[in-house]
Amino acid sequence: MLYIIEDSINGILMGSIYGLTAMGLTIIFGVLKVVNFAHGSMLMVGMYLAYWTVTLSGIHPYLAIVLVAPAMFFFGYYLQNIVIKPIFIAEKNVREPLTVIIVTTGIWYILDNMTLLIFGPQYRSLSDNPLSGQMLEIGQMFISVPKLYGCITALITALGIYWFFQKTDMGRAIRATSMDREAASLMGINQYKIYNVAFGIGAATAGIAAVTLVPFYNIFPTVGVLFDIKGFIIVVLGGLGSIGGALVGGIIIGLIESVGPQFMTATWTEAIVYGLFLVVLFVKPSGLFGQKHDW
């Protein structure tokens, strides 16, 4: 019984980090209506950025957020502005331009392979950071400290983004664009600028997620792929475009992955995840928290 509680807690903690990795994906989809296949690669770029920041300066891994989040914001902002925007303009009259998805796939391959070229295929990790291997002992239960920090960061990030979308002029403009691009233009909102900002925010949350992962996760050029597939499942489970949904979707996956092995072979948990994914698609295609709203 105790094991199950312990695993549940660790599953929730890890799951909220999964949710954080998927949050940017859901924001970008919500506004641009485009599935960003390069999201895992942006996470990977963030992880390398965090890794080198911490390794070279020796600061506490979480302090890297101060550098990584803004750097990733600008990375995302200009990636959309320079690479993706021209395609949006060329496909102006298409509601959900497929070519943009293909371009994000291209960005994924380019980022992964450039990283491979520059840093090589080896696994890196921040082995002697103040959080590594730390455990919080509650009675006979052990809770992973870096994951606890990650969970808290995920909650703060989700609340911060929620506040930004609800209470600021830019946030309202982003929501307006996500609901009706044309009506938003008629209100004087430049949709391409909004896309830049939304992509920037998506990349920045990937950067924050990267910082939370770096203290306990290996860093290698294709690390993003693992989170990409999980991210898609999480986002569809929680409802495309819903920030809270991403968090809940992540926690569900985290719970299945950590509690599942108590009852079955660990590899079977994957099957449960995908089975649940299919059931949600059949029963509630808009996801658990998705709005039944025509994008």
Question: Which residue lies nearer to another protein by CB, 151 or 173?
Answer: 173
Using CB under 8 A, which residues numbered 148 to 177 contact another protein? 169, 172-173, 175-176
Nearest distance in Å: CB 233, another protein: 24
94 binds another protein (CB under 8 A): no
216 backbone dihedrals φ, ψ, rounded to 5° = -135, 10
* Closest CB 134 distance from another protein, rounded Å: 42
> Is residue 90 close enough to count as binding another protein by CB under 8 A?
no
Using alpha carbons, list the distances in angstroms from residue 164 to 158, 160, 174, 191, 221.
Answer: 10, 6, 10, 18, 32
**DSSP code of residue 68:** H
**Closest distance of CB 183 from another protein, Å:** 4
Among the listed residues 257, 261, 215, the one whose alpha carbon sits nearest the alpha carbon of residue 234: 257
Nearer Cβ to another protein (95/293): 293
Residue 259's alpha-carbon distances to 10, 69, 162, 247, 281, in angstroms, are 9, 32, 30, 18, 23
Enumerate residues 188-207 that contact another protein by CB under 8 A.
Answer: 188-190
Task: Report the 10 Å Cβ neighbour count for 55.
Answer: 14
Report the distance separating Cα 13 and Cα 19, nearest Å: 10
Report the nearest approach of another protein to the CB of residue 292 (Å).
10
Question: What residues from 257 to 286 belong to the interface with another protein (CB under 8 A)?
Answer: none
Q: Whole-angstrom distance between the N-terminal and C-terminal Cα of the chain?
A: 45
Nearer to another protein, 81 or 291 (CB): 291
Q: Which of 187, 264, 266, 281 binds another protein (CB under 8 A)?
A: 187
**Is the Cβ–Cβ distance between 246 and 26 less than 8 Å?**
yes
> What DSSP string describes 219-279?
B-TTHHHHHHHHHHHHHHHH-TT-HHHHHHHHHHHHHHHHHGGGTS-HHHHHHHHHHHHHH
**Total site size for another protein, rule CB under 8 A:** 18
Tell me if 293 contacts another protein by CB under 8 A: yes
Stretch that binds another protein, among 118-126, 132-140, 178-186, 207-215 (CB under 8 A): 178-186
Of these, 183, 229, 271, 279, which contacts another protein (CB under 8 A)?
Answer: 183
Q: Binding of another protein at residue 184 (CB under 8 A)? A: yes
In terms of CB distance, is 134 or 185 closer to another protein? 185
Distance CA 192, CA 195 (A): 5
Residues lying near another protein in the complex (CB under 8 A): 169, 172-173, 175-176, 179-180, 182-190, 291, 293
